[in-house]
Structure 1
């Protein structure tokens, strides 16, 4: 039997998913970083491409304390975090097999990022009263990323054998679960800010 025959299959689809979604999240963080530079340079007079209306914009978010929750601009977290997601995807494409502790830490990082994202959603919708377009792209990335990573780790036994069966059952439904979460987020912003009306105006 050849080495190719006994080698484990590379998770191509999963690896490409991580690269694509990581790149989308990184791009949003990069755009927010550029906008933050403009805000720092010109203050409230900054003209940002993401400022579509008083309710659909990123200027307010970037200038708020919530936009620098840890004492520095939030997009810096995105630049580093999403780069890590891309790196994991590329590593899998290269054929690497990662240890269980690695997957635990990766999943913990993704879960922490989702919790922070949910906090930002609440702050944006209920406190700042805005929908940041680039932040919206981050929302679109984070929910699928969390569910796919978590359920795949469960299905492959990274969390122990007890959760393998549950993970295997739920993994095919990761996309529908993420879509339901995103619809809920969309409804929150629509009910709070009437986003569709302000986009059409």
Structure 2
């Protein structure tokens, strides 16, 4: 019999809805920026188009969107976000409406978020180490992808969809309460790496504070 929760995972469902909405907004904004850049290039092939989310040489969208990494699979990455975050929103709403999913579904959903998490980790590396920029809307995507992956993975383990034994079920159930801390620790690791590799502090002290 497919494992199912004896109690509806309302907290997980609410998070999936919130993450889905936030992720969709970020993906939509990046898609609009990509379209705007394409239109600007058509109208003026020799001109330089700056995205509305370009704040500084470090914090900007243009470099990321125009890079090969910004179209990793041959089309703009935001398209993946539009599809993926819609799935998160639908699953969250379905759970709140009383839907129960079997093992195959949670395995597939976990696999999808594992791909999203791995892809985001790759994009974070590319952004910091190769492109030297931090895209604002991309960072919004990172913020919701990381805890979504943790939450769905732990949920799949604790209900037995990923069969790792009773001990791991208990550990996963315990770790669910520590999700905010796990996510915060992940954000801090990314922040430390970014500050170490990028001149963020110089930008803050010499540009932001001077403008203030």
TM beyond 0.5: yes
Aligned counterpart, 1:175: 180
List gaps (5 residues or longer) in structure 2.
1-5, 42-46, 208-212
Aligned counterpart, 1:26: 24
* Partner of residue 119 from structure 1, selected from 98, 122, 142: 122
Two-structure CA RMSD over aligned residues (Å): 1.4
- In terms of fraction of residues, the more helix-rich structure is 1
| Distance in 2 separating the partners of 1:161 and 1:70 | 33
How far the C-alpha of 1:196 sits from its partner, in A, is 4.1
Structure 1 stretch 167-176 or stretch 76-85: which is displaced more?
167-176
| Distance in 1 separating the partners of 2:133 and 2:40 | 21
How far the C-alpha of 1:171 sits from its partner, in A, is 1.6
* Partner of residue 149 from structure 1, selected from 152, 156, 173: 152
| Distance in 2 separating the partners of 1:199 and 1:109 | 37
Aligned counterpart, 1:81: 84
Runs of 4+ aligned structure 1 residues displaced above 4 Å come to none
* Partner of residue 197 from structure 2, selected from 175, 192, 195: 192
Aligned counterpart, 2:102: 99
CA contact (8 A) 1:148 1:175 kept: no
| Distance in 1 separating the partners of 2:36 and 2:199 | 28
CA contact (8 A) 1:155 1:167 kept: yes
List gaps (5 residues or longer) in structure 1.
1-7
| Distance in 2 separating the partners of 1:119 and 1:169 | 29
CA contact (8 A) 1:155 1:171 kept: no
Aligned counterpart, 1:47: 50
Aligned pair count? 194
| Distance in 2 separating the partners of 1:156 and 1:49 | 44
CA spacing shift, 1:161–1:71, aligned 2, 3 Å:
closer
Task: Indicate yes or no: 2:136 matched with 1:133.
Answer: yes
How far the C-alpha of 1:165 sits from its partner, in A, is 1.7
Aligned counterpart, 2:63: 60
Aligned counterpart, 2:171: 166
TM-score, normalised by the number of residues in structure 2: 0.87
